[in-house]
A = this chain, B = another copy of it.
Amino acid sequence: MIPPRRIAILGSTGSIGQNTLNVIRAFPGQFKVTALAAGNNVEEFKRQVDEWRPDWVCLAEKSSVEKILPALPSSVKALAGEQGMIEIVQRKEVDLVVFATTGTWGVAPLLAAIQAKKQVALANKESLVMAGRIVTDAARENGVKIIPIDSEHSAIFQILNGQDPKELHRIFLTCSGGPLLHVAKEQLKEVTLEQALKHPRWKMGRKITIDSSTLMNKGLEIIEAKWLFGVTPDQVQVVIHPEAVVHSMVEYRDGSFMAQMGVTDMKGPIQYALGYPHRLPAVTERLNLVEVGKLSFSLPDVDRFPCLRIAYQAARGGDSDATVMNGANDTAVEAFLEEKIRWNEIPELIETVLSRHQKCENPGLARILELDRWAREETTRLIGQRSKAWVS
C-alpha cells in the first residue's frame, strides 16, 4: 500500500483551500493533512482543525493563534505569520504544499518550499506575477515541478505534460468573458458592484470575480503563463469562450491543437495537482458535451476591457511592470469593492501608477516587495486625490 501523501495547505479557509479539503475528503487514506494555515477566518479555521487534526497550524496574526490555542490538543504546534508558514513548508513530514493564499502572502513560503524540494501546487497568482522569474529559476535549480491550480494553467500543464515544450507554437487562454461581456462601452462607466460580482460560470472570491469582470484576471494569467511555460506574451492569445468548457488550449508547431475540457469546478484542477503525476477518479460531475451542445469562440474587446491591453504591455515590459500593475490593481479593486471608485477607474488608476513607477530589471524579492508597497501606496494616494483631476 502507498503511504498517504502528506499535505500542507496554506490558505485553507479560502475557496481553493476549502475545495482542496473537499477533494481530500473524497479519498480517505490517500492523503494526510499535516498542516493548515489561514489568514484571519478563525471560526472556519477552528472547524477545519477539529476535523483534520493537523500536526501544525498557522494563522496570520499572533492574536488569532491565541484565540484557538485553548481548544488545540497539546500535540499540535501553533505558529503565526509568514515565518510560521515558512517553518511548515520546510518540515520533512510535508510532501506537497498547496499555496492557496491570496495576495503577496505566500511568496516567501513558496520559495522556501521550492528550496526544500517539496512538490508545489500553486493557486496563488501573485507569487508568479510579482516574482515569476525568481520562483521559476528556483524551481528549475531545485528540480521542483510547480503544478498550477488555476483551471487555465492546469489545462496547459496537463496538455504539455511529457511533450517537448520546444514544439509549442502558441497558448490560447480561454476566458468566459466575465459578467460584463455584453455590456456596451458607454454603459461600463455605470457598472455597479452587484453587476460586476455576478460571474456567469465560476464561483470564486470577490477580488477574482472583479478581476474577471475587467479581464485583468486573464491579464495576470498571461504573465503566469509566461513564467510557467516559458512563452513570450505574444505566444499567448486570449479567446472569449463563454461556455467555459474548454479550459485552455495549446497549438503545436505542426498546427495540431490540444484543448483540455471539463466542468467548471475548481475541484478538477485541485485533484489533478494533488494526485499528480497520476489521475484520481473523478470527484466532480462529468462533462456532458452533447448536453452543452455548442462551444463558441471570439476575440476579446480590448477597447472595452483595457486591463487586457495593460497586462500585455506589462508582460512585455520589465519585471517591475508586472509587480506594479498587480499592486495597483489589487488596491484599485479593493477600492471598487468598497464602492470608493467606479469600475472604469480601475484601468485608469493602474495605467497612471504604471507610468509613474521607476522601472527596474531582475529585481530581488526585497525590491519586489518594495515596488508592490509603492504601487499600493501610490494607488491609494491617487484614490484619495480623486476630487482633484488625478488622471494624467
Q: Could you list which residues of chain A lie within 8 angstroms of chain B, going by C-beta atoms?
A: 158-159, 161-164, 167, 169, 172, 239, 246, 249, 251-263, 268, 271-272, 275, 278-282, 284-287, 289-290, 292-299
Known: A162-B162, A167-B279, A278-B164. A255 touches B296 (CB 8 A): no
Residues of B close to A281: CB separation below 8 A: 253-254
Asked if B254 contacts A261 (CB within 8 A), the reply is: no
Closest to A280 in B: B254
Asked if B261 contacts A279 (CB within 8 A), the reply is: no
Known: A161-B162, A278-B167. A262 touches B257 (CB 8 A): yes
Residues of B close to A278: CB separation below 8 A: 164, 167
Asked if B255 contacts A275 (CB within 8 A), the reply is: no
Most buried by B among A161, A253, A295: A295
Most buried by B among A172, A256, A260, A297: A256
Residues of B close to A279: CB separation below 8 A: 164, 167, 252-254, 256
Asked if A282 contacts B253 (CB within 8 A), the reply is: yes
Residues of B close to A296: CB separation below 8 A: 293-295
Residues of B close to A282: CB separation below 8 A: 169, 253-255
Asked if B284 contacts A158 (CB within 8 A), the reply is: no
8 Å CB contact of A254 from B164, B275, B295: B275
Closest to A158 in B: B256
A216 to B52 alpha-carbon distance, docked (Å): 55
Asked if B284 contacts A290 (CB within 8 A), the reply is: no
A284 to B256 alpha-carbon distance, docked (Å): 10
Residues of B close to A289: CB separation below 8 A: 172, 239, 249, 257, 297
Asked if A268 contacts B285 (CB within 8 A), the reply is: no
Lowest 5 A-B CB distances belong to which pairs? A162-B162, A255-B282, A257-B261, A254-B279, A167-B279
Residues of B close to A249: CB separation below 8 A: 261, 289
Least distance between A260 CB and chain B CB atoms (Å): 6
Least distance between A194 CB and chain B CB atoms (Å): 31
Least distance between A286 CB and chain B CB atoms (Å): 5
Least distance between A212 CB and chain B CB atoms (Å): 20
